[in-house]
Amino acid sequence: MKKILFLMTIFLISLCLRANAEVPYSQKKAFCLDQVNASYSNSLYERQKIYDNCMKNAERLIINYENQRYKEEQQSAKLKAQEAERMAKEELKKKKDEDAIRQSERDNPNIYIEKVQQIVGQYRTYPQFAIMHGYTGNVIIEAIIGPDGSIAEAKIAKSSGHIELDKHSLNTVLQRQKFPAPPSNDGFAVPFSFVYQLN
């Protein structure tokens, strides 16, 4: 009988894992009746005992399974809550950092100007045609950056004496269509200096 009960437990475990839900009462009852029919040589009392033990084991197995599933769901919900809390803290920290940067830029506009100039500096090149013709000179482009960071206006404030270098410098600034929002809600003027010199 111990062997029968052991096999029964293994079978019900597999049912729970495959179905991922509670085994219906009718299914448990039918399985236990099969165990009773398999023991037809035993007395009526023994067969009733087999059936009762089978049902008790089935109920205990389902309860254990449901408890385990509940713990897993609780753990999953806890992890999701922790992740949401972590992301909320990171977002709050990011906003605080951005507000601090904006405040420092309002207190000292040169911080913003230098930041924007560094962005444009990443796109600086010496045009090949200017090198071939030996063009040199300094160009200053003045750009007005709007409240949303877009370029509202850009013009050549100082020419190098070569229109090719002037246009190349202007296009370098315009290539970056949007910058970080300036510290002022009005137009914010930023100068960009380009130095073209052959070694």
The model's pTM: 0.52
Mean of the per-residue pLDDT values for the chain?
A: 79
Residue 62, pLDDT score: 74
Which one has a higher pLDDT value, 68 or 168?
168
Residue 71, pLDDT score: 87
The yes-or-no verdict on residue 95 having pLDDT over 90 is: no
CB 177 within 8 A of CB 150: yes
Listing from the earlier edge strand, what are the strands of the sheet with 188-196? 151-158, 137-145, 188-196
Residue position matching structure tokens 């309002």: 106
For residue range 32-46, what is the model confidence (pLDDT) as tens digits? 556 555 555 556 666
Burial 53-73 (b: 16+ CB within 10 A, else e): bbbebbeebbeebeeeeeeee
Domain extents for the chain? 2-78, 109-196
The yes-or-no verdict on residue 108 having pLDDT over 90 is: no
Q: Give 42's DSSP letter.
A: S
User: Fold for domain 109-196?
Assistant: 3.30.1150
**% of the chain exceeding 90 in pLDDT:** 33
